[in-house]
């Protein structure tokens, strides 16, 4: 297979088809000036490539590919199937989606097809095949980009039929479905497969909140089914391309912690993971780091950063400019966490429609003298100087944090005990500790090989399917450390409770029984009294625990459950399990995780205290140390690196780092 990474791809989405020919020449000149070496083309050109059912017209794409090939760009070639042509919808209205409210969509927007439409599948597959036949052997085409940001769900009758088939395959019998979904509740018993309908707002979904449902078991199965259905769309195009192009890597651009698709399952079908990083003005840097680590974790390999904006977005509520230096620092953070490409959306700012205010390398002024263009050029020159040396480097870590899409769905569908429980935020609470302490983390799937880690972090492990508790137990028995806590071990694969007391199958290894779960409203809190002194606030949920072998590290000191354990530690085999029964404040969690890190023998990358982000990538006998100031304030340079060379600027590390300074030290 070709590798897309013979150099760091630097460039991004390019839409010359939206511009007159003279502009293309100017683009070529400006891209060179900014050290851009790669372009992603043909993302939304289906309507141009296929003016009607019978005709393909590749003349303009030929011209674009020729020009880019001559100029030696690495081309990421998209298949254009993320936006359907108007004629397709007019001729076959069933190709569009029926949304959560039950409305059949008309032509418009993009990402609007029914994944189970045979018509959509036929035309999308055919287009991908034609493209592969025409361009697959072009050595400049280094990567296929299928569709674009697959997302959302369809609730049409066609999908309902496909759902019934999916269910038959999964459960075998209607009795098994009725049992899995606990349909005795509210008299939901199904006597015929055709009685089953899609759980949207007109059925068992909730009209006021898409993430709530009367039957989580049905809705979770629908999520699994939708994720699989859309994945089939990807595979259809992938296989069509593969049938004529055996060599070029194939990807589709993912969206970090996007909820709708089980990306661990998806990644198995992708040659390389790519994703689009659009933090808002107030997204914590630790959250962005976590999303990068998750994208790296999907395959346990470096990834492509397919999109980021050089400056502002248009679609967020407040599209602030990236401050001077911010795009550079964000890009180095991306590479630090495992990216082997830096690509922008987009290279030239559109003249019309909803993305005309979206940041781009070339602004509406057309000038190379803009702040953004100069910053893009500076980064381009640095990446060119770095060359290929970091490509393929790994981010080894001793801590694995479980991220599991089925838990994501289940936890947020469940009704009670609080509406404030959000999966990503809970995982991030824990991730942030390791980020702040310079302890590298792998984001891992629920079926990972835990034995590679010293610590496995499993907050809100609400759904524990068959085999999961056993795998965690054997990891701990062999000396591993697990940390889990409230809303864990509660249900099985269909959202039915593991009877016998929470945390169900995790109870033995945790050495605690959670008898009741109190929900605290915003503004309410309890206080944790630590056994070794010190107090901190806690809230959100408070498990009322009984010790069954574990020791209490902290107790509640307020309300009717004052004096009962809140945070515990249990020896189990050669290892131990921490159970955090409430959400401590930042200091409280810090104290618990300090204790855990010491017990498990997990060390930070550097021993001195610093607010800088420190990340290390390794390849062969070389180490690349990224030192980033994302704190908004000047910070002293770490002593650990004093006098060593920052290979980005050639200067010695010392003094202080200004906000958004980024250094790279090679050892
Ligand atoms: C997404 C899409 C792009 C573009 C950007 C704008 O990531 O993939 O086509 O619309 O958003 O931020
Ligand atoms: Zn559908």
Render pLDDT for 278-290 as a digit per residue (tens, 0 to 9).
Answer: 999 999 999 999 9
Tokens of 538: 């806690």
149 is catalytic: yes
Cβ pair 420, 522 in contact under 8 A: yes
Residue 5 has pLDDT above 80, yes or no: no
Q: Angle CA(274)–CA(278)–CA(282) in degrees, nearest 5? A: 145
Q: Is 221 within 8 Å of 407 (Cβ atoms)?
A: no
**How are beta strands 575-580 and 565-572 bridged, if at all?**
antiparallel
Within 10 A of 2 (CB to CB), how many other CB atoms are there?
15
Q: Which residues does a 6 A CB cutoff place in the pocket of ligand 1?
A: 148-149, 276, 278, 307, 313, 315, 345, 355, 358
pLDDT, tens digit, for every residue of 417-460? 999 999 999 999 999 999 999 999 999 999 999 999 999 999 99
Cα 227 to middle of ligand 2, angstroms? 13
313 Cα–ligand 1 center, Å:
9
User: pLDDT-based confidence at 4, cuts 50/70/90?
Assistant: low
pLDDT at residue 548, as a whole number: 98
| Nearest Cα to Cα of residue 387 among 3, 5, 7, 4 | 7
Atom of ligand 1 nearest to the CA of 253: 8
**Which atom of ligand 1 is least distant from the CA of 309?**
12
Please report, in angstroms and rounded to a whole number, the separation of the first and last CA atoms in the chain.
31
Question: For a pLDDT cut of 70, what percent of the chain falls above it?
Answer: 99
Question: How remote is the CA of residue 159 from the centroid of ligand 2, in Å?
Answer: 4
How far is Cα 96 from Cα 377, in angstroms, rounded to an integer? 41
Over the stretch 359-375, which tens digit does the pLDDT of each residue have? 999 999 999 999 999 99
Residue range 299-325, pLDDT digits in tens: 999 999 999 999 999 999 999 999 999
Q: Among the bound ligands, name the one nearest to the CA of residue 353.
A: 1
Give the residue whose CA is nearest to atom 4 of ligand 1.
345
**Closest C-alpha residue for ligand 1 atom 11:** 345
Is it the case that residue 609 has pLDDT exceeding 80? yes
What separation in Å is there between the alpha carbon of 315 and the centre of ligand 2? 26
CB burial of residue 316 (10 Å; 0-12, 13-18, 19+): middle
Interatomic CA distance for residues 516 and 524, integer angstroms: 18
Q: What is the pLDDT of residues 46-58, one digit of tens each?
A: 999 999 999 999 9
- Taking each helix axis from N to C end, the angle separating 405-413 and 216-244, rounded to the nearest 10 degrees, works out to 150
pLDDT in tens, 108-148: 999 999 999 999 999 999 999 999 999 999 999 999 999 99
Find out whether 303 and 339 touch, Cβ atoms under 8 Å: yes
Please return the burial class of 472, using the count of CB atoms within 10 Å of its CB with bins 0-12, 13-18 and 19+.
buried
- Ligand 1 atom having least distance to the Cα of 313: 12
Among candidate residues 307, 406, 412, 613, the one labeled active-site is 307
The model's pTM: 0.98
* pLDDT at residue 326 in the model: 98
Q: Which helix (H) or strand (E) holds 77?
A: strand 74-78
Residue nearest (by alpha carbon) to ligand 1 atom 7? 276
Residue 233 · residue 124 · CB < 8 Å: yes
DSSP code per residue over 6-32: SS-EEEEE--GGGS-HHHHHHHHHHHH
Instruction: Give, for ligand 1, the residue of 13, 149, 254 to mutate: max count of ligand atoms closer than 8 Å to Cβ.
Output: 149
pLDDT reading at 2 higher than 70:
no
The encoded tokens of residue 568 equal 């515990």
Q: What is the pLDDT of residues 214-273, one digit of tens each?
A: 999 999 999 999 999 999 999 999 999 999 999 999 999 999 999 999 999 999 999 999
Cα of 115 vs centre of ligand 1, distance in Å, is: 20
Instruction: Give the model's pLDDT for residue 301.
Output: 97
Give every CB contact of residue 460 below 8 A, 6+ residues apart in sequence: 407, 411, 421, 423, 426, 427, 485, 486, 487, 488
Is 516 one of the catalytic residues?
A: no
Which of 255, 355, 356, 361 to probe ligand 1 with, by most ligand atoms within 8 A of CB?
355
Kindly indicate the confidence band of residue 3, based on its pLDDT and cuts at 50, 70 and 90: low
Q: Check residue 208 and give its pLDDT.
A: 80
Residues 6 or more apart from 306 whose CB is under 8 A from it? 40, 76, 145, 251, 253, 274, 275, 276, 341, 343
The model's pLDDT over 331-342, given as tens digits with 9 standing for 90+, comes to 999 999 999 999
CA atoms within 13 A on the CB side of 148: 24
Tell me the average pLDDT across 86-104: 97
Mean pLDDT of 614-621: 98
Round to whole Å and give the CA distance between 79 and 131: 7
Q: Which pLDDT does position 211 carry in this prediction?
A: 86
Ligand sitting nearest the alpha carbon of 149: 1
Exposure on the CB side of residue 412, measured as CA atoms within 13 A: 17
Q: Hey, how many other C-beta atoms are within 10 angstroms of the C-beta on 268?
A: 10
Least distant ligand from the CA of 97: 2
Q: Which among 149, 160, 375, 424 is annotated as catalytic?
A: 149
Distance CA 189, CA 435 (A): 48
Protein residue whose Cα sits closest to atom 12 of ligand 1: 313
pLDDT at 24: 98
How many angstroms separate the alpha carbon of residue 93 from the centre of ligand 2?
Answer: 11
Strands (E), 300-363: 303-307, 339-344
| Residue reference for tokens 């007391």 | 501
Q: How far is the CA of 233 from the centre of ligand 1 (A)?
A: 20
> From the CA of 114, which ligand is nearest?
2
Ligand 1, residue 148: give the atom nearest the CA. 8
- The residue with tokens 């390389």 is 272
* pLDDT band per the 50, 70, 90 thresholds, residue 402: very high
Going by alpha carbons, the residue nearest to atom 5 of ligand 1 is 345
Quote the CA–CA distance of 134 and 237 in Å, as a whole number.
Answer: 15
Where are any strands of DSSP class E within 557-599? 565-572, 575-580, 582-584
> Quick one: which ligand is closest to 316's CA?
1
Identify the pLDDT of residue 391: 96
What's the CA-to-centroid distance between 267 and ligand 2, angstroms?
A: 23
> Are the C-beta atoms of 369 and 334 separated by less than 8 Å?
no
Tell me what pLDDT residue 6 has.
86
Q: What are phi and psi of 83, to 5 degrees?
A: -140, 120
Residue 645: pLDDT band (50, 70, 90) is: very high
Evaluate the omega torsion of the peptide bond into residue 255 and state whether it is cis, within 30 degrees of 0: no
Q: Which pLDDT belongs to residue 207?
A: 78
Q: Which residue's alpha carbon is nearest to atom 3 within ligand 1?
A: 345
- DSSP output for 116-127: T-HHHHHHHHHH
**β-strand partners of 519:** 541
């Amino acid at each position: 297979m070709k590798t897309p990474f013979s150099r760091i791809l630097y460039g991004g989405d390019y839409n010359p088809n939206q511009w007159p020919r003279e502009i293309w020449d100017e683009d070529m000149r400006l891209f060179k000036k900014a050290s851009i070496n790669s372009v992603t083309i043909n993302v939304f050109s289906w309507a141009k490539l296929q003016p009607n059912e019978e005709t393909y017209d590749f003349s303009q794409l030929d011209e674009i590919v020729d020009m880019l090939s001559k100029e030696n760009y690495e081309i990421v070639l998209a298949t254009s199937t993320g936006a359907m042509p108007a004629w397709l919808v007019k001729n076959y209205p069933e190709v569009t989606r029926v949304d959560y409210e039950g409305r059949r969509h008309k032509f418009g927007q993009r990402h609007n097809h029914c994944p189970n439409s045979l018509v959509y599948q036929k035309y999308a597959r055919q287009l991908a095949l034609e493209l592969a036949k025409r361009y697959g052997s072009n050595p400049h085409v280094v990567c296929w980009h299928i569709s674009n940001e697959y997302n959302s769900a369809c609730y049409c009758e066609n999908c309902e039929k496909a759902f019934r088939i999916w269910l038959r395959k999964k459960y075998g019998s209607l009795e098994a479905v009725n049992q899995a979904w606990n349909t005795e509740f509210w008299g939901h018993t199904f006597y015929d497969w055709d009685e089953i309908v899609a759980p949207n707002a007109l059925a068992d979904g909730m009209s006021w909140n898409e993430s709530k449902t009367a039957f989580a078991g049905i809705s979770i199965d629908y999520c699994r089914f939708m994720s699989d259905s859309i994945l089939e769309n990807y595979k259809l195009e992938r296989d069509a391309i593969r049938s004529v192009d055996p060599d070029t890597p194939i990807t589709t651009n993912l969206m970090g912690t996007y909820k709708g698709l089980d990306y661990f399952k998806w990644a198995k079908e992708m040659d390389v993971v790519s994703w689009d990083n659009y933090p808002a003005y107030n997204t914590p840097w630790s959250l962005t780091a976590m999303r990068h680590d998750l994208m790296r974790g999907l395959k346990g390999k470096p990834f492509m950063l397919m999109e980021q904006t050089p400056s502002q977005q248009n679609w967020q509520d407040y599209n602030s400019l990236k401050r001077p230096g911010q795009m550079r620092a964000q890009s180095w953070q991306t590479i630090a966490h495992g990216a082997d490409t830096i690509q922008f959306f987009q290279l030239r700012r559109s003249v019309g429609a909803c993305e005309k205010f979206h940041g781009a390398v070339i602004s509406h002024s057309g000038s190379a003298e803009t702040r953004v263009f100069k910053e893009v050029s500076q980064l381009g020159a640095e990446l060119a100087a770095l060359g290929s040396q970091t490509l393929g480097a790994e981010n080894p870590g001793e801590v694995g944090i479980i991220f599991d899409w089925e838990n994501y769905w289940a936890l947020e569908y469940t009704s009670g005990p609080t509406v404030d429980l959000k999966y990503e935020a809970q995982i991030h609470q824990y991730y942030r500790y390791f980020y702040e302490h310079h302890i590298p983390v792998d984001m891992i799937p629920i079926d990972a090989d835990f034995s590679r880690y010293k610590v496995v972090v499993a907050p809100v492990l609400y759904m524990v399917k068959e085999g999961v508790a056993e795998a965690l137990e054997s990891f701990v028995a062999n000396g591993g450390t697990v940390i889990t806590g409230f809303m864990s071990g509660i249900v099985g694969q269909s959202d039915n409770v593991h009877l016998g007391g929470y945390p169900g199958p995790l109870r033995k290894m945790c050495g605690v029984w959670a008898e009741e779960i109190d929900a605290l409203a915003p503004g309410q809190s309890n206080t944790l009294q630590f056994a070794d002194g010190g107090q901190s606030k806690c809230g959100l949920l408070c498990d009322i625990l009984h010790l069954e072998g574990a020791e209490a590290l902290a107790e509640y000191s307020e309300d009717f459950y004052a004096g009962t354990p809140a945070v515990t530690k249990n020896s189990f085999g050669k290892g131990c399990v921490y159970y955090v029964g409430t959400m401590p404040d930042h200091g409280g969690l810090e104290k618990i995780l300090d204790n855990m890190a010491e017990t498990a023998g997990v060390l930070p990358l550097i021993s001195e205290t610093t607010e800088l982000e420190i990340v290390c990538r390794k390849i062969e006998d070389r180490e690349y140390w990224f030192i980033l100031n994302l704190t908004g304030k000047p910070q002293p340079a770490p002593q650990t690196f004093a006098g060593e060379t920052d290979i980005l600027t050639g200067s010695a590390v010392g003094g202080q780092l200004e906000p958004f300074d980024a250094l790279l030290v090679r050892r």
